[in-house]
Structure 1
């Protein structure tokens, strides 16, 4: 494959990434600046100060300068990797995000893998057995779970497995009174089961329904009907003529679900008091921690972009025709 074409392809991806990040940073900053949130008031938390002291704080947070100048300074700091200092944690925003995101990464990665594998398998089984009780059961589950908010599913799972059955702890990342560095793997893993289960059950519904519908269309196509006329049937027919055609759109949808995965993690982490980036985002919004909130917005945009990029890259390992077409454009 021509290295120049590969460099051109990823060069355009880099340009799109830079434009996206600039747009997200500016748009998010403007929205927060126009909102009633005030970093100075959030920092003071109702404490009485003199006008001189307030002016010093306004200068420190940069709230006493015109909006274009605020945006310029914000972008310059962002280019240097400086996202400011969190008002809640009194630490650099980047340090807080790294700590919290690592906890969420385990939750989201396991949930994403499970939802993709199980959802794809359910979709294939339902599509192969169109009209059967298996197909109807899968469709009922998918419609029901897609209609239910993720926090409600999490609360239901917590009630069943934690309160009634007592199989798992109710919440938190580690036992109360135990430092995260002192917690054993079992203590950490048992508290990850229910949030992961919730996020997986919610995430597999779209991929299952999409896969099922794609397979139904493929099985009704002319070339599959011709294959059936030659005596091909059962799982051999699905494997030879169905999986390759439905796998690509399924993977696309799965990688594009990164944004929904992040949004679902916010709700799930709140329900189970899981100390991840989702719970931190909610705390930053409720406690007016503008630097931390903006930092999480930027990181989430990077997270979604990486998901889309991985989807594009995965095409080349599944369908070589897309590889050639993409690099020749």
Structure 2
């Protein structure tokens, strides 16, 4: 392994550690200042004595000062323990692993849909700039980009599930079926609407971004020269346009990981999809600090990994982007 590669890896590791430290501190402060009482979240609607409440607080460490709780949490982190979720009665690592499996399928499908359809629509809109097709695609994209995800999800749910009855109302599998009886088609069938809802905002941003980039390319001097030589429009797009807009589109697509993760919280809540976003909502409403802290760190690593993947893919797509032997 070269020195430049080692230097790059050290830089990546240092940035990730700094990111995790600041993420943990900010998340802890926000949760500690939250008006949600974790004891109330733990007992729910049960009526218990003050002595029992004190025992619960002592058992889960709710009675300790915030700084001490954070220090204890950090010490446990170095031992590979993210804590125990009192909502799910499981270790935080087990909850994240279970919920992320469902969320990964949802976010993966939505991410692919937004990238492919957004890129294609952006090219069509830019190539036919000023046409009715261009105006329709722009109106569609601007409308979607300014519409909240949860509202789109509710609208889709009312139309395709309630009125038309084409898709289930929610969940990740049919109600009443045990896990061993759930088929792949059942999972896909329940995944369609949430994934489509989550992909919509990504489609809009990718479309508008790609449209502008392809317009800039088509108005460049070397494209005007190619036209003068008699090259056809789509030949120019294929030879010159795609090469120049691919890297910016990759940047936008991988940078959308944070928006995708945030949007999954709303989409999963609307469709009662049992993923990581739904777990965040439950943990927040009940003050489950251990679970919230664990998910916050996991989401930070997830987003950081997406940005790092973009840097690596840059070199694969265009080796000239490497400078000084490191990833650009």
TM (norm. structure 2) is: 0.94
Query: How far 1:81 sits from its partner (Å)?
Result: 2.6
CA contact (8 A) 2:37 2:286 kept: no
Distance 2:270 2:220 in 1: 45
Q: How far apart are the structure 2 equivalents of 1:284 and 1:328? A: 38
Counterpart residue number, 1:286: 285
In structure 2, how many angstroms separate the alpha carbons of the residues matched to 1:295 and 1:265? 17
Cα offset for 1:70? 2.3
Indicate the SS of the match to 1:324: coil
Separation in structure 2 between the aligned mates of residue 194 and residue 325 of structure 1, nearest angstrom: 46
| Alignment partners' CA distance in 2, 1:226 and 1:3 | 43
Displacement after TM superposition at 1:55 (Å): 4.6
Provide the C-alpha distance between the structure 2 equivalents of 1:109 and 1:180, rounded to a whole number of angstroms.
22
SS of the residue 1:274 aligns to: coil
Match of 1:122 in 2: 121
Deviation at 1:261, TM superposition (A): 0.5
- The answer as to whether partners of 2:36 and 2:285 remain within 8 angstroms in 1 is no
1:139 Cα deviation (Å)? 0.2
Alpha-carbon separation, structure 2, partners of 1:165 and 1:35: 41
**Offset of residue 71 of structure 1:** 2.1
Q: Tell me: CA distance 1:222–1:274, structure 2 relative to 1, closer, same or farther (3 Å).
A: same
Matches of 1:308 and 1:328, distance apart in 2? 12
TM-score of the two chains, using structure 1 as the length reference: 0.93
Q: Give deviations 1:279-311, integer Å, cap 9, x for gaps.
A: 111111112222112221111111111111111
Aligned to 1:29: 28
Change (3 A) 1:325 1:146: farther
Map of 1:186 onto structure 2: 185
Following the alignment from structure 1 to structure 2, what is the Cα–Cα distance between the partners of residues 262 and 64?
32
Q: Which residue number in structure 2 is paired with residue 203 of structure 1? A: 202
Shift of residue 213, structure 1, vs aligned partner: 0.4
CA RMSD of aligned residues (A): 1.9
**How far is the alpha carbon of 1:272 from its aligned partner?**
1.1
Rounded to whole Å, the distance in 2 between the matches of 1:79 and 1:116 is 38
Q: Distance between the aligned counterparts of 2:22 and 2:36, measured in 1?
A: 21
Match of 1:238 in 2: 237
Once the two structures are superposed, residues 13-47 of structure 1 have per-residue CA deviations (whole angstroms, 9 ceiling, x without a partner) of 11100110011011111221122333334334454
Which segments of 5 or more consecutive residues in structure 2 lack a partner in the other structure? none
- Residue in 2 that maps onto 1:163: 162
SS at match of 2:323: helix
Deviations 1:229-249 (A, max 9, x none): 222231110111111111111
Kept in 2, the 8 Å contact 1:195–1:269? The answer is yes
1:15-164 alignment runs, 5 A limit = 15-45=14-44, 47-51=47-51, 53-164=52-163
Determine the C-alpha separation between the residues in 1 that align with 2:307 and 2:167: 35
Give 2:172's aligned residue.
173
Q: C-alpha distance in 1, partners of 2:47/2:22?
A: 36
Report the secondary structure of 2:62's partner residue.
coil
Give the superposition deviation at 1:66.
3.7
Structure 1 range deviating more: 136-145 or 317-326: 317-326
Q: Deviations over 1:187-225 (max 9, x none)?
A: 121111111111122321100100000111111112222
* Kept after mapping to 1: 8 A contact 2:312/2:327: no
Maintained 8 Å contact 1:25/1:75: no
Partner of 1:13: 12
> More displaced, 115-124 or 40-49?
40-49
Give the 3-state SS of the residue equivalent to 2:84 in structure 1: coil
Provide the aligned length of Structure 1 versus Structure 2. Answer: 327
Deviation at 1:328, TM superposition (A): 8.3
What displacement does 1:130 show?
A: 0.7
